[in-house]
Amino acid sequence: MNKTRRLLFPALITIGLTSLVAGDLPAEEDGGPVYLMKITGAIGPVASGFYIETLRRAEADMAECLIVELDTPGGLDTSMRDAIKEMMASEVPTVMFVHPGGSRAASAGAFMVLAAHVAAMAPGTNVGAAHPVQLGGGQADSTMASKIENDAAAYIKSIAEKKGRNVRWAEDAVRKSISSTAEEALEEGVIDLVSESLATLLDDLEGMEVETAYGTRTLEVKGSEIERVQMGAKRRFLSAIADPNIAYILMMLGFFGLFFELSNPGAIFPAVVGSICIIIAFFALHTLSANYAGVALIILGMIMFLLEIKVTSYGALTIGAVISMILGSVFLFDYPTTLLRISWSVIIPAVAAITAFFLFAVGKALRVQKRKPTTGVPGLLDKIGEARTDIDASGGTVYVAGEHWTAVSDVTIAKGRKVRITQVDRQGVKVVPL
């Protein structure tokens, strides 16, 4: 028994120490989740904010990477740069995936693809056409246009150099607006992968080494949980109103609401709806970097329409208002890309409806002004009444419009005859026999 105890005691001590040491060692952790989000449409403050918010969530969750399914015709320079700055400073790699087939990464989208830690495209997609345009409306002169182009070219070259991509192609995308298919982009060293689907992309990413702001990182995405991030209700609403056509319609509705309230004080409802629409519209205009010369022209047009009701201009104010409205609508978002411009199918019906409404209102106002008065003393002229007494030059009594009036006549009118009022003064009325 003693011998057995002497043999077991060292063994138990060894097992205990081994367990203690093993308990102090960190357990092998599974890889983090893979975050997945989509950016479709123009890259503006809403899309940029959604990307930055998702990237920060991925960092907090220690994600392996963030995959962005991208399909964009371009967007605002400031929004693109905000997203790229956040991307380059993050420890979570961003994988830009131009997907599905038929998608594109044009203009600002091309910058974001080149800036990604991993750039991937699906077959049937294209990237490029990154020549900058003058944002905020108006046409830049040759000097300013050259400055904008050189700035964009330097920026995209610095991105390509940092990410080890084709610098010459990047510069040509800005200066010559070249665009490449997925296969061409891969061959020219613009992107890293061509993947058929998300599943194929995950297989291709496994074991890939990427350089982040925090050093080299090896992607271990095999078997990782896919965390799909959807845009919240607030951002969906902001994204919906950050459409030039929606912002334009909201502004028109706001002006109409305020007009009805000013025309009929105390109605309340038009003022409430109009004020809300105006505030939301101006938020959208600010978000879209609208040209406020266009806003001023639209407001001027509305003022001229209102003046047409009060001032007789024989149509001059209406013509000026229509011209001002059309010019303001065109200048409001003066972007070459149709996605960031107001559609003519919205401008023409809106201006036509406003013009028709005010012409109708002006016509009604003119008819009211020309119509004979029906109440008060002027309203008695040409009224038909009945002689209640004999009427002559010395006087008499006539019943007209529910009242008895003192009446005179140049001829004698017998009691009971119908008479017509020809003149009204302080002493009474002058009548003639009917």
Give backbone dihedrals phi and psi of 103, rounded to 5 degrees, phi first. -80, 170
Flag whether the pTM goes above 0.85. no
Give backbone dihedrals phi and psi of 37, rounded to 5 degrees, phi first. -140, 165
Indicate the pairing of strand 428-433 with strand 418-425.
Answer: antiparallel
Report d(CA 326, CA 344) in Å as an integer: 10
pLDDT for the residue 135:
44
pLDDT for the residue 118:
96
Annotated catalytic residue within 85, 147, 162, 364:
147
pLDDT in tens, 320-348: 888 888 888 888 776 555 555 677 777 78
| CATH number of this structure's domain 34-231 | 3.90.226.10
Report d(CA 388, CA 221) in Å as an integer: 107
pLDDT for the residue 138:
44
Q: 422 near 383, Cβ under 8 Å? A: no
Annotated catalytic residue within 48, 107, 195, 329:
107
Give backbone dihedrals phi and psi of 126, rounded to 5 degrees, phi first. -145, 160
pLDDT of 11 strictly over 60 = no
**Residue 107 bears catalytic tag:** yes
What is the full DSSP assignment across 313-344? -TTHHHHHHHHHHHHHHHHHT--SSGGGS--H
pLDDT in tens, 127-136: 998 887 654 4
pLDDT in tens, 136-187: 444 455 777 788 889 999 999 999 999 999 999 999 999 999 999 999 999 9
pLDDT for the residue 392:
84
Give backbone dihedrals phi and psi of 212, rounded to 5 degrees, phi first. -110, 180
**Residue 289 bears catalytic tag:** no
Domain ranges for the chain:
34-231, 243-370, 378-433
CATH pick for 378-433 out of 1.10.3720.10, 3.40.50.300, 3.90.1720.10, 2.40.50.140:
2.40.50.140
∠ CA 231-237-238 to the nearest 5 degrees? 90
pLDDT for the residue 176:
92
Least confident of 7-21, 211-225, 413-427: 7-21
Which residue type is seen at 294?
G
Q: 399 near 388, Cβ under 8 Å? A: yes
